[in-house]
Chain A
Amino acid sequence: MKIGRRAVLAGTGAGLAIASVPKSHGAEADNPFAGFIAADGKSITVIDVKADANGHAVISPVDLPADASPYPLFKQFLTNKASAVAIYSAPPNHHIATSFDTARRLIVVVAGALTLNSAHGSRECGTGTFIMLDGKSDVTAHGGPRGFTAIKVQLAA
């Protein structure tokens, strides 16, 4: 993130005050979660999983733009109504079968890695990957050699 101006604001909705300073990127070089927001701050990259006409999952990265935010003090992404949330771990090399779940669900890999598989191919998703599963498809997954931990948010229509 780069904020190219210095600003001091006070007295907005929640009593917020800011004094911005330039950001250095060195300290976050080892952070697997750094960098999922584009350098211009306008979008984030998500691995999108969507069925083609034959029900085979197309697994491809897409850039999703920031949401319109009423506040100048932050940017927002993936703003959604949600119906359920879970935090879970899969053991090493664990196979996850095709889901018949038709809801949209976001999975954030917060530790380890998994591989998504479909008739169209495979894609490894390491720590810090955002995956958007959009409806039912033939996608399956298997955990990496150390397994993985993920946050799953089931989105509401």
Chain B
Amino acid sequence: MDQDRRNALSVALLAPAALGNAHRAAAQDAAKPKFMNKDRTAIVAKRTYTTDDGKTHCDTIEWKGVPAAKGSIVPPGCTSYYEGKAVSMLIRQFIPGMKTDYHTDPANEHQVTFMFEGQAKVGAKDGTSFVLGPGEFASVEDDHGEGHTAVDATGEGFTQLFVAVPAK
């Protein structure tokens, strides 16, 4: 068998395996929740926060997974990504076209939020922004300062879980 035929045969034999790997990788990726980081060690949450100069910014924060501690509300044997005291909770369905001016959280409260339906574009005066879509977490930490805007990004409304937590 000459070299060209050997090369062609090896390509033909390897291609299905390569496709299989690609398929498996795609399947694994599909199984990976949108909110997990690449190596699945942390939840990535989008974030608004205010610096000491009173300016509000948007970026992301990682909540790293740790074993559930004794006395935790997380069941034994599970990985805890976020745990803390809470003040209140609600699920809020915003109507289509919702748009806010710059606003802050209630003083001394942050919000852990999760988007169920729709998309919200969140922006700060410094030009940073993010879009929060279904299956994504956000940590709203600007309880003072310039604040942020939230705009319905699809025109179809959006529905979010809000859990108010004490500001750290």
> Which A residues are within 8 Å of any B CB, using their own CB?
1, 3, 14-24, 27-28, 31-34, 36-37, 41, 44, 67, 73-91, 94, 96-97, 99, 101, 105-106, 108, 110-111, 128, 146, 149, 151-155
Query: Is B135 a contact partner of A33 (Cβ separation < 8 A)?
Result: yes
Instruction: Give the contacts of B71-85 with A (CB-CB under 8 A).
Output: 72-85
Instruction: Report which of A36, A88, A96 forms a contact with B80, defined as CB distance below 8 A.
Output: A88
| Distance between A150 CB and nearest chain B CB, rounded to angstroms | 9
Q: How far is the CA of A36 from the CA of B159 in the complex (A)?
A: 10
| Distance between A157 CB and nearest chain B CB, rounded to angstroms | 13
If A76-B90, A87-B43, A89-B78 touch, does A110 touch B35 (CB 8 Å cutoff)?
yes
Q: Which residue of A lies closest to B34 (CB)?
A: A111
| Distance between A83 CB and nearest chain B CB, rounded to angstroms | 6
Chain A binding surface SS class: strand
Q: How far is the CA of A76 from the CA of B112 in the complex (A)?
A: 16
Q: Which residues of the other chain, B, contact A15 by a CB distance below 8 angstroms?
A: 100-103
Query: Is B161 a contact partner of A23 (Cβ separation < 8 A)?
Result: no
Is B134 on the interface with A (CB-CB < 8 A)?
yes
Q: Which residue of B lies closest to A89 (CB)?
A: B79
Query: Is B95 a contact partner of A86 (Cβ separation < 8 A)?
Result: no
Query: Which residue of A79, A88, A110 has the most chain B CB atoms within 10 A of its CB atom?
Result: A88
| Distance between B55 CB and nearest chain A CB, rounded to angstroms | 19
Q: Which residues of the other chain, A, contact B154 by a CB distance below 8 angstroms?
A: 27
Supply 5 further A-B pairs (C-beta < 8 A) apart from A85-B165, A86-B73.
Answer: A14-B103, A16-B99, A84-B86, A85-B85, A149-B33
Q: How far is the CA of A21 from the CA of B155 in the complex (A)?
A: 6
Q: Which residue of A lies closest to B74 (CB)?
A: A88
Query: Is A18 a contact partner of B88 (Cβ separation < 8 A)?
Result: no
| Distance between A123 CB and nearest chain B CB, rounded to angstroms | 18
Instruction: Give the contacts of B132-162 with A (CB-CB under 8 A).
Output: 134-135, 137, 154-157, 159, 161
Is B61 on the interface with A (CB-CB < 8 A)?
no
| Distance between A97 CB and nearest chain B CB, rounded to angstroms | 8
If A75-B92, A80-B89, A151-B114 touch, does A85 touch B163 (CB 8 Å cutoff)?
yes
Residue pairs across A and B with Cβ atoms less than 8 A apart, 6 shown, are A3-B95, A85-B163, A86-B80, A105-B73, A106-B89, A151-B114
The 3 closest A-B pairs by CB, nearest first: A15-B101, A82-B86, A111-B33
What 0/1 pattern do residues 100 to 143 of B give for CB contact below 8 A with A?
Answer: 11110000000010111100000000000000001101000000
Q: How far is the CA of A90 from the CA of B96 in the complex (A)?
A: 36
Q: Which residue of A lies closest to B90 (CB)?
A: A79
Q: How far is the CA of A32 from the CA of B97 in the complex (A)?
A: 23
Instruction: Give the contacts of B33-65 with A (CB-CB under 8 A).
Output: 33, 35, 43, 63, 65
